Structure 1
Amino acid sequence: MHRGRRRLRPAVLAAAAACLALTATGCAQVDTTAPSSVRAEAAHGAPARFGTVDCREAKCIALTFDAGPSENSARLLDILKEKKVPATFFLLGKRHIATYPELVKRMAAEGHEVANHTWDHKILTRISDAEIREELKRPNDAIERLIGRRPTLMRPPQGRTDADVHRIAKEQGMAEVLWSVTASDYATTDSALIKKRVLEQSSRDGIILLHDIYQGTVPAVPGIIDALKARGYVFVTVPQLLAPGKAEPGKVYRP
């Protein structure tokens, strides 16, 4: 099905930004599935699907980064390697994957989950079905060329999604991943504030949203990791958070 999507007025866009600050699903009526539900529905006694972490027992949390790679990503990868923390990267295509292909390869080689954040950060609920397909397919094609496999996870820009997006994501073999923790790092360069916001919102099975494209974010990451580890958290990728279950294409996941 093809349908047009109206452009939103500035006042509506301002409201959308306010909604984003509160987390995506606080405004849109989106059916989401919690990681704990995915794990509970998996076969009883099944081993954890990824590595040695079993989030049925461990106090897990997932660190995710949107809209890279960028000039800050190499330093971020150094930090994650030093701290032995895996992350999930939702990558943009235009000006990002295409500009930093070696960083995409490094992310995959160092055990991080490489996922899709569209080609040009278009709000998917405002564009045609054909454009949605293009926004999702182009990054997947580019990532597959670089690391040899297609992403199975995607994050819609601003967390804005609807039934059409679900259907097209399913066609392309992808599940959608939202978040439960946001530092609004797009609005501040204060690394201490970013850390404070993350720590205030974090809880078991949390999915933390950060952006390595902003200058205040990467400097905040070591403190976030150290503080959460001190609270007993184990960092995992999104697939590890769901294991022994698995993300189902067309579904939306959020704690």
Structure 2
Amino acid sequence: MRSTTKARRTRVLAALLTTVAVAIGLTGCDGYDATSPAAARKHHPAGGQAAFAPGAGGPVDCRRVKCVALTFDAGPSVRTPQILAILAKYHVHATFFTLGKNHVMVHPEMVKEMAAQGHEIETLTWSHQILTKISDDEVRKEITEGRDAVQKVTGVRPTLLRPPQGRTSSKVTAIARDLGMAEVVWSADGADYRTTDSALITKRILAHTKRDGIILLHDLVDPTNRGYNGTVAAVPGIISTLQGRGYTFVTVSQLLAPGTPQPGKVYK
């Protein structure tokens, strides 16, 4: 009888742990739900105009084609033109999550060139404060000023926000929703902020990229030479290898099409 009761308790505990594991897998560590690009594509307004990616044989539909989105954080910087040249060589469009204060406002002509080449220009906030650690008013200011900096330069208001370090919460998503912003995190991280080893950065990205993936890299200069400086050399190998594996590169908005980014959602 005692062994039967013990076995029953073990089964109940196992079931509970499974439930918790599933919940953690579906919910961010700060208490937010993430939506996959595939799920986003299933929910779109009837008659809405899809932001399909252009391709040699016509628009690319990521419901049928193996797509991946390449994103760059924290620029633009003096390194961005090198990345733009590589993207042009491989006919790839990327999404740039820019910083307003010391980047967009310092390099406005570069931002205009990024937009002119067909890249998606979004915001990483004004000054890269961690949104989960500051007040509601400060969160709103960081998002608004970062967004408005891009709009001032390009004439187009961003609708996508990358929370610095990918840290968000129910509070942040509620403010983003009020501001008409969706959040975008990532599924493949080169950790180029920790190393200058281009081969290692490339290996990390290739190991974690899957269909509908969102890749995180940085177009930033690090004066301490501890990170970021290996990114440029890693980009050609990342692109060429993934193209060889049958991937089509698109912007984040194109990855979600025919769905459109919904304010308050977190896409991953």
The two structures have a TM-score, normalised by structure 1, of: 0.86
Q: Which runs of 5+ in 2 are unaligned?
A: 1-26, 54-58, 221-227
Name the residue aligned to 1:151: 158
Letter in 2 for 1:215: N
Unaligned runs of 5+ in 1: 1-24
Task: Tell me whether 26-35 or 118-127 shows the greater mean CA deviation.
Answer: 26-35
Partner in structure 2 of residue 54 of structure 1 = 61
In structure 1, distance between residues paired with 2:125 and 2:45: 33
Q: How does 1:61-140 map to 2 (within 5 A)?
A: 61-140=68-147
Amino acid at match of 1:253: Y
Q: What's the counterpart of residue 209 of structure 2?
A: 202
String of CA shifts for 1:16-44, please: whole Å, max 9, x gaps.
xxxxxxxxx76433201111011122368
Give the structure 2 partner of residue 243 of structure 1.
Answer: 257
Match of 1:248, as an amino acid?
A: Q
SS of the residue corresponding to residue 187 of structure 1 reads: coil
Letter in 2 for 1:250: G
Superposed CA offset, 1:6-63 (max 9, x none)? xxxxxxxxxxxxxxxxxxx764332011110111223689774334110000000000
The 5-angstrom pairing of residues 170-185 of structure 1 reads 170-185=177-192
Paired amino acid for 2:253: P
Farther off after superposition, 163-172 or 243-252: 163-172
Q: Deviations over 1:78-100 (max 9, x none)?
A: 11111100000000112111111
Q: 1:229 corresponds to which letter in structure 2? A: Q
Q: Distance in 2 between matches of 1:133 and 1:40?
A: 30
Give the RMSD, CA atoms, in angstroms.
1.6
Aligned-partner SS, 2:42: helix
Aligned length: 230
Partner of 2:74, secondary structure, is strand
Q: Distance in 1 between matches of 2:110 and 2:48?
A: 34
Q: Which residue of 1 aligns with 2:231?
A: 217
Answer with 139-148 or 62-71: which moved more.
139-148
Q: 1:167 Cα shift? A: 1.4
User: Would you say the 8 A contact 2:28–2:34 is kept in 1?
Assistant: no
The 1-side partners of 2:48 and 2:151 are apart by: 29
Q: How far does the alpha carbon of each residue in 1:61-88 deviate from its partner, in whole angstroms, 9 at most, with x for none?
A: 0000000001100110111111100000
Q: 1:248, 1:48 → 2: CA distance?
A: 14
- In the superposition, relative to structure 1, how do residues 103 and 163 fare at CA in structure 2: closer, same or farther (>3 Å)? same
Give the whole-Å Cα distance in 2 for the aligned partners of 1:26 and 1:171.
20
**In the alignment, which of 28, 39, 43 is matched to residue 41 of structure 2?**
39
Letter in 2 for 1:39: R
In the superposition, the TM-score normalised over structure 2's length comes to 0.82
Q: Give the Å deviation of 1:139.
A: 1.5
**Offset at residue 232 of structure 1 (A):** 0.1
Q: Structure 1 residues 160 and 245 mapped into 2: Cα distance closer, same or farther (>3 Å)? A: same
Over alpha carbons, which structure has the higher Rg? Answer: 2
Residue among 191, 196, 212 paired with 1:189: 196
Partner of 1:7: none
State how far apart, in whole Å, the 1-side matches of 2:31 and 2:147 are: 27
Q: Is the 8 A contact 1:48 1:54 kept in 2?
A: no
**SS of structure 1 residue aligned to 2:249:** strand
Equivalent residue, structure 2, for 1:165: 172
Deviation at 1:238, TM superposition (A): 0.3
